[in-house]
Amino acid sequence: MFDPRPNAGTRTNPAFNNVTLQDVGASSSYNALEINYEHRFSRGLVASAAYIYSHTISDAPDVNGFEQNLVYVEDPTNRLRDRGNSYVNRPQSFTASTIWSPRAKLENSVVNHLLSDNEFAVLTNISSGDEQNVTVNANVNDDSTVGSSVTRLLGVGRNTLRGPKIVQFDLRYTRTLFALRERFRVQFLTEATNIFNHPNVTTLKTAGVGVDTTGCPKMANGFALDPTHCGQLTGFPSGFGTPSSTVLQGRILNFGLGVRW
């Protein structure tokens, strides 16, 4: 049945109110090329690196994840309209780690002890930046269940605006102060997270793009559409595309003592 004024009296079965349908038929895909390298050098040096070239596509809103502000599909009758880059799509990623545990073999026992029992570690993480949705300042399809803040600009796909790349270097130094019975080791350690204090931007200002709502389909005009006006771009808000927040940490220094066995 269809009635512009649905209520319990006009439904086929008046014993039921609204029926909510939750569709879990979303589809996501992930394809990647991964290259790994690991080598053990002499004198306690170990290095490894990994490069990944990938692409992940999805038509799911990812409401339980980190999906950028779109918690509804724009057209429940055709999920292909929401098919596009996933929010976690980072096409290029490079990670590397280096650990050096030098061992000195000198005649002077004091110098030999000072130059040994040290461990230096460097972790590198470089990847493509996060993607964002471009949303408009108006509801162009008169859908009362979603607000203007979750409506994309017409003709612009999902997650098409990418932020700056992620760059982070972490350092760690560990010094074994002394060992007991070759089993218990008392260690001093210091860590530096994001040693260069690089601002890793994760959110850009992409909301509030101005669009023309003249001629958009509404109940008042019989859902007639004037494509020459409805949804046409009228302007960008101040600061559009500029960083608005970061999630990853700035430089952090930690010092500590530990016992390993």
Alpha carbon distances (Å) from 160 to 91, 118, 123: 13, 47, 30
> Residue 125: what are its φ and ψ, rounded to 5°?
-140, 115
What's residue 1's pLDDT?
A: 46
Give mean pLDDT in consecutive 10-residue pieces for the chain, a chain of 261 residues: 58 69 76 96 92 92 48 70 85 96 83 86 94 84 65 82 92 90 86 91 87 82 82 89 80 90 82
Residue 13 tokens, joined: 């079965």
Q: Are 73 and 59 in contact (CB under 8 A)?
A: yes
Residue 251 tokens, joined: 């430089």
Alpha carbon distances (Å) from 163 to 36, 192, 241: 26, 25, 8
Global pTM? 0.74
Q: How far is CA 230 from the centre of its chain?
A: 32
How do 233-235 and 161-162 pair as beta strands?
Answer: unpaired
Report the distance separating Cα 242 and Cα 171, nearest Å: 30
Would you kindly state where each structural domain of the chain is located, as residue ranges? 28-260
Residue 46 burial (C-beta neighbours within 10 Å; 0-12, 13-18, 19+): middle
CA atoms within 13 A on the CB side of 213: 13
Q: Which of 62, 57, 54, 51 is nearest to 24 (CA)?
A: 62
What's residue 72's pLDDT?
A: 62
Report the distance separating Cα 132 and Cα 153, nearest Å: 12
Report the distance separating Cα 124 and Cα 138, nearest Å: 42
Q: Are 176 and 189 in contact (CB under 8 A)?
A: no
Q: How far is CA 200 from the centre of its chain?
A: 11
DSSP per-residue codes, 188-210? EEEEEESTT----EEEE----BE
CB atoms within 10 A of CB 68: 21
What's residue 32's pLDDT?
A: 97
